[in-house]
Amino acid sequence: MEVRKVQVVGGTTFIVSLPKKWVREAGLKPGGELILIPKGSSSLLIKLK
């Protein structure tokens, strides 16, 4: 488990960074896409596209 902070970019976009180890193991590259699936009001599932 890792804790990440929510950041605001440009005043209207929220971002959260991904752990570098997870990104490397998943084979993600800059510009890669993820699928975000809301799970209730307090969870978000992140899947590779």
When pLDDT is averaged across residues 17-41 and rounded to a whole number, the result is: 95
Mean pLDDT value across residues 13-33: 95
Task: Indicate whether this model's pTM tops 0.85.
Answer: no
Could you report the per-residue pLDDT of 36-48, keeping only the tens digit for each?
A: 999 999 999 999 9
Residue 21 makes CB contacts below 8 A (sequence gap 6+) with none
Question: Is residue 1 scored above 90 in pLDDT?
Answer: no
Taking the C-alpha atoms of residue 23 and residue 20, their distance in angstroms, rounded to an integer, is: 5
Delimit the domains of the chain by residue range: 7-48
Q: Residue 26: what pLDDT?
A: 95
